[in-house]
Amino acid sequence: MGSVGSAIEAQLFSWDGSGALKPKEGAPKELSDGGDATTPTLYISQKDGNKMRVKIENGPPTFFDTEVKFTLGEEFDEFPSDRRKGVRSVVNLVGEKLVYLQKWDGKETTLVREIKDGKLFVTLTMGDVVAVRSYRRASE
């Protein structure tokens, strides 16, 4: 992923299928409702080879910002903005895609981030439910 080597700053501009995924993930209703109303800004940066930082600033009305620092290929504890507990995650670079695997309470979610046509696409999958978010660069 060529853009992983430099910081990606993107802002959400479209998001399809998100409502179908949140209840299955177990997110509280107030976050499920508020999450659809936010326009988050996403920052991804890479440092010292395999060290990554992903920061999401959600802004009003939720203000549930998250920042995660991890090393590619190493499992870590994650504290997502939807307040799920006991989430263990691992992120790998597969070709030009960042592929996240989150596990908690016997459940599993996959999140894939990739750049296509100058946009960042995030595909979330849980079982047979798929949601896609697309982001544009904040400078546009």
What does the mean pLDDT of the chain come to? 77
C-alpha span between 61 and 7 (Å, rounded): 26
Share of the chain above pLDDT 70, in %: 67
- Tell me the pLDDT tens digit for each residue of 2-39: 445 444 455 554 455 566 666 666 665 544 554 555 67
Domains located in the chain, CATH noted: 2-137 (2.40.128.20)
Split at pLDDT 50, 70, 90, the class of 63 is: low
Side-chain-facing half-sphere of 3: CA atoms under 13 Å: 18
* Residue in 136, 105, 124 with CA at minimum distance from that of residue 22: 124
pLDDT tens by residue, 91-109: 999 998 999 999 999 999 9
Query: Does 62 or 71 have the greater pLDDT score?
Result: 71
pLDDT confidence of 110, banded at 50, 70, 90?
very high
Q: Is the pLDDT of residue 46 over 60?
A: yes
Q: Enter the tokens of residue 115.
A: 């750049």
Instruction: Please tell me the predicted confidence (pLDDT) of residue 77.
Output: 94
